[in-house]
Amino acid sequence: MNPHEHELAYPWAEAPAPGTIVTLRPGVHWLRMRLPFALDHINLWLLDDEIEVDGSVRRGWTVIDCGITSDETKAAWEKLFDTAFEGRPLLRVIATHFHPDHLGLAHWLARGGERERWRAPLWMSATEYAFGRFLSAGTNETAGEDAAAHFRRHGLSDPESLAKVRARGGGYYPKLVPSVPRSFHRIADGDEIAIGRAGSRRVFRVIVGHGHAPEHVSLYCAEDKLLVSGDMVLPRISTNVSVFDLEPEANPLPRYLRSLDHYLMLPADTLVLPSHGKPFVGLHRRVAQQHAHHQARLAEVYDACATPKTAADIVPVLFNRELDLHQTTFALGESLAHLHALWYEGRLVRTSDGGVWRFAQGLS
């Protein structure tokens, strides 16, 4: 949790109840869906929209992010279709990145829910779309074995946890994202997307960020000073930056910190719409807090490596609370991200002993 949260301002005290919306600006609405994790909700954004299709103008909605695939999320969406949608269709679905809470229900929203009320295209960056399609297909039969080998190499030795990682295999993602639309509309860094009704249309610029996901999309409207930040800037929790078995030698932390600095180009009084927590003002403060947070974590990890440490040894250094297996895998990935940042800088050296990797302060 963010100990400096008081430096941020929250213009809205209350989050919308499930199945309801809160209007933030004319044509910009906030809604929430529940998540069955320690992080128990995701914010989604519903925007009034109007698109010309084959010479005729269609009024409807654009949604940014979707929620996971679950009966509960579907029921909450169906309720919104009947109440908040005013009988109008979704015109497009934008997903900021491939993570299940963001992309999970895109396939279902794109074809109009249970009753197939409309067809809407999915807008995503190419890398995020490809990751989502690949993981949702669940074709990697050795995924469980690969993940267990990765965690074992980094010091997870408890046989019960390893067995659970192995059993989870490649089936975890497809459970939350059982399908991804077969085609998509590509968006890329610097693109401008006009959203809204004629006369009150907003132009959003795509800002791609790295380190949390491969090609994460944030959307910025200069006229309204409105930033849909996705998971790149969150007010309460720090964005997860992890090394996973798919890219075992990754160095995502410097990428993330460099991406964060792009947001300093936006005005300080920008209203930030994050995927978790509440809309806030204080973007530059939050970027500074994240830099300070990671510099402090890097210093702690470096100090701990006065004697050789595995990533698993680092978990209690960074997280002094009980973690379930889901949280442990993220905590281990995050610990490894900090170790790798120091290792790539040449401040730590890596040694292998019996197939287990340890990091220690270099001789210099």
Q: What's the closest the beta carbon of residue 99 comes to Zn ion, in angstroms?
A: 4
SS3 for 70-111, per residue?
CHHHHHHHHHHHHHCCCCCCEEEEECCCCCHHHHCCHHHHHC
Told to check if 99 binds Zn ion by CB under 5 A, we report yes
Q: Which helix (H) or strand (E) holds 306?
A: none
Shortest distance, position 97 Cβ to Zn ion, whole Å: 6
Q: How far is the CB of 131 from Zn ion (least distance, A)?
A: 11
Interface region with Zn ion, contact rule CB under 5 A, candidates 91-99, 125-133, 200-208, 324-332: 91-99
Candidates 49, 50, 65, 231; binder of Zn ion (CB under 5 A) is 231
Q: Map tokens 């015109």 to a residue.
A: 91
**Nearer to Zn ion among residue 177 and residue 304 (C-beta):** 177
Listed in sequence order, the residues at least 6 apart from 5 whose beta carbon sits closer than 8 Å to its beta carbon are 235, 236
Could you give the C-alpha distances from 258 to 175, 213, 254, 335, in angstroms and in order? 33, 14, 6, 19
> Which residues are CB-contacts of 61 (< 8 A; sequence separation ≥ 6)?
46, 47, 48, 49, 85, 88, 89, 90, 91
Query: Which residue's CB is nearer to Zn ion, number 231 or number 313?
Result: 231
CB of 210 to Zn ion, least distance (A): 12
Write each residue from 49 to 68 as x if it is in contact with Zn ion (CB under 5 A), else as -, in one continuous string.
Answer: --------------------
Total site size for Zn ion, rule CB under 5 A: 2
Part in contact with Zn ion (CB under 5 A); list of ranges 12-20, 49-57, 225-233, 310-318: 225-233
Q: Can residue 215 be called a binding residue for Zn ion (CB under 5 A)? A: no
Please tell me the distance from the alpha carbon of residue 171 to that of residue 191, in angstroms, as a whole number.
34
User: To 10 degrees, what angle do helices 252-262 and 325-344 make?
Assistant: 90
Please compute, for residue 168, the number of CA atoms within 13 A of its CA located in the half-sphere on the CB side: 15
Q: Does 276 bind Zn ion (CB under 5 A)?
A: no
> Minimum Å distance from CB 177 to Zn ion?
12
> Shortest approach of Zn ion to residue 122 CB, angstroms?
17
When the beta carbons of 62 and 218 are compared against Zn ion, the nearer one is 218
Task: Tell me the residue number closest to Zn ion, measured at CB.
Answer: 99
The pair of structure tokens assigned to 40 is 């128990």
Question: Rounded to the nearest whole angstrom, what is the least distance from the CB of residue 240 to Zn ion in the complex?
Answer: 7
- Judged by beta carbon, residue 135 or residue 312, the one nearer Zn ion is 135
**Piece of 96-104, 139-147, 258-266, 311-319 that binds Zn ion (CB under 5 A):** 96-104
Residue 105 near residue 73 (C-beta atoms within 8 A): yes
Under the rule (CB under 5 A), what is the footprint of Zn ion? 99, 231
